[in-house]
A and B are shown apart, each in its own frame.
Chain A
Amino acid sequence: MTQAEIKLCSLLLQEHFGEIVEKIGVHLIRTGSQPLRVIAHDTGTSLDQVKKALCVLIQHNLVIYQVHKRGVVEYEAQCNRVLRMLRYPRYIYTAKTLYSDTGELIVEELLLNGKMTMSAVVKKVADRLTETMEDGKTMDYAEVSNTFVRLVDTHFVQRCPLVPATENSDTGPPPPAPTLVVSEKDMYLVPKLSLIGKGKRRRSSDEDATGEPKAKRPKQTTDNKEPIPDDGIYWQANLDRFHQHFRDQAIVSAVANRMDQTSSEIVRTMLRMSEVTTPSGAPFTQPLSSNEIFRSLPVGYNISKQVLDQYLTLLADDPLEFVGKSGDSGGGMYVINLHKALGSLATATLESVVQERFGSRCARIFRLVLQKKHLEQKQVEDFAMIPAKEAKDMLYKMLSENFISLQVGCL
């Protein structure tokens, strides 16, 4: 971790959780994984406070723990996960665009609390929505539940790993730290809950604790003494899914810029169909047949099957190579070439930086060297058609800022 990253993590932890958590968190980021007592000793904080801080960090998935041999439990901070906190507003905004205010608040609650049960989320969100509605109207739990289920179906929200239910409890002393597991098929399984109720308006007389959101377990409200039906089943926001969504958006807008609106809609449809079937690191989406794509196009998009086929052929033939044809059954099988798309987007970003920072002629040289891999000074001048003196100037400027490197060949 670089100094700048550690500093940033420190500022984030302080702003969200306060000084003590910040001290423990930064210490762990700096020193790697450590057991409880060592943390307490090195940071000079009491054991009790260290425990509380670790609770907060674990609740928010910022620290993980591992049982080492000889029964020692070590805690490790996830610096990258801390940096993701910068993206919380973007995740919340995405949920808003997809699932409107209800979705926005659900994701916000989950991000701010780390892990929550479904019933707690539904209740909290219903209350908040009721606050914003006109007098006399309330938000029904059912509506919030529906949105929650939709978020789970599209994998934006997932189940947290939990302690596996063991049948036999006499296998010796319990382990020092539980190992949490969640099975693939349970990850997005919503328990059958019947949440009935309506949001309650917060009366001005009873104020909840406002200010920094407390990351402790969801508080039991005083007027509800019934046991929570889904106790033990906690949910968290699935950040990778959001990242996948951003990736899809970037690909669609690139296609729109290069081709036209219709082509980008087709690509958007294909990506939507592959959302939950394709793992996030895969190089290609699952093959989709032209018939399937035709059926899944958004309602109201009237293009005939023939026109769709033409667009698909054009997409597959385009030098961009974002879409590939993988077979002929079902009217033609098409895949989206994710790795190629991401590579092209990355290259375009680099070129954009060079263009804005150094000017369009430098950008020409940069693209040229990028395409041809190795070039001599003279070749650069010839291909880019830039006079020798200027070309030399530009190459050395980019060399000094480490955008281009020099390789000495043998004579």
Chain B
Amino acid sequence: MNIINSFVPRIIELCHQFPHGITDQVIQNEMHIEAQQRAVAINRLLSMGQLDLLRSNTGLLYRIKDSQNAGKMKGSDNQEKLVYQIIEDAGNKGIWSRDIRYKSNLPLTEINKILKNLESKKLIKAVKSVAASKKKVYMLYNLQPDRSVTGGAWYSDQDFESEFVEVLNQQCFKFLQTKAETARESKQNPMIQRNSSFASSHEVWKYICELGISKVELSMEDIETILNTLIYDGKVEMTIIAAKEGTVGSVDGHMKLYRAVSPIIPPTGLVRAPCGLCPVFDDCHEGGEISPSNCIYMTEWLEF
């Protein structure tokens, strides 16, 4: 046994020499000990929490454990260390408890106990995900959760702020509308009129920031998502122009310009007659209970 004890500091020294990890082969070359003795020494170091066991494509690697971490994990057993490792690997996206179970092959009860332990030690934290409100993902305590988990600027505490989005939507539209109107009334030649009715996404962003209606800081991309909803409302059109690198508001040599527009047709004929909006359209036929001849909406509409 004493012989093995003497090997341990030597192995640790070797690990310090190669901080990226050493293989069995390296130990063998340096120390010329029997395989079995080597295995015992390694196991002892692992259980003391001083070595990390890693698998590489060439075989097993032994790495000196970070002393800070080693201190943290004192008193924790191997299972906890494993779970902690898995959570650390998940980065700022976090990992769901079921996924931890798959990766570590530990039973659910064990996992839950370990997670509670780690949380109380303030090593990990649980963050509610916006994608599924019941799901909790775990990540390291001091990490900032990723946007996909918290939802970004449009979510506050997992709630989608639809009113906020509506207000921004209306403000952006008003800004573009006023710009287009002033351009039209300026009665300049048509080219100038058209060009001045456009606003770049940067301009809109500046306007919204100056308005100060948002308590959260909004980026230009955020404003562009709002402007896109206006495009889907049919109220705004967008063109992309090539801009020199360095022009204010240009991204990758392009700039997005937005303009308020009016719809190209008035509400179409079918929906101006009562039938277009009728909830029982499919049941209506001559001779039936619901028919054009006894339709009250039709009678009302025809009595203009």
Contact = CB atoms under 8 A, between A and B. Distances in A.
A345 B233 contact: no
A385 B154 contact: yes
19 contacts: A7-B286, A254-B264, A254-B265, A263-B190, A310-B190, A314-B191, A319-B238, A344-B264, A348-B268, A349-B265, A353-B270, A356-B276, A367-B233, A368-B232, A384-B229, A385-B154, A385-B165, A385-B169, A387-B160
Given A258-B262, A356-B276, A383 B228 contact: yes
Contacts of A311: 190
Contacts of B234: 351, 363, 367
A353 B286 contact: no
Contacts of A349: 265, 268
B52 interface: no
Contacts of B69: none
A177 interface: no
A360 B226 CA distance: 16
Secondary structure of the A contact surface, majority rule: helix
A367 B264 contact: no
A393 interface: no
B237 interface: yes
Interface of B: 131, 154, 160, 162, 165, 169, 184, 189-191, 194, 225-226, 228-229, 232-234, 237-239, 261-268, 270-271, 276-277, 285-286
Given A363-B234, A383-B232, A384-B229, A356 B277 contact: yes
Nearest to B166: A385
Given A4-B285, A253-B265, A364-B232, 15 more contacts: A257-B263, A258-B261, A258-B264, A260-B184, A307-B189, A314-B191, A314-B194, A356-B277, A357-B271, A365-B232, A385-B165, A385-B229, A387-B160, A387-B162, A390-B162
Closest 4 CB pairs between A and B? A356-B271, A254-B264, A352-B268, A387-B160
A277 interface: no
A355 B263 CA distance: 12
Contact of B271 (A344, A353, A360): A353
B285 to A, nearest CB: 8
B264 A345 contact: yes
Contacts, number: 89
A371 interface: yes
A182 interface: no
Given A348-B263, A352-B271, A357 B276 contact: yes
Nearest to A382: B225
A263 B194 CA distance: 12
A398 to B, nearest CB: 14
A4 B292 CA distance: 13
B268 A353 contact: yes
Contacts of A260: 184
Contacts of A384: 229, 232
A8 to B, nearest CB: 10
Contact of B189 (A310, A352, A371): A310
B262 A356 contact: no
Interface in A262-279: 262-263
Nearest to A256: B264
B166 to A, nearest CB: 9
Nearest to B262: A257
A262 B228 CA distance: 30
Contacts of A355: 267
Nearest to A388: B160
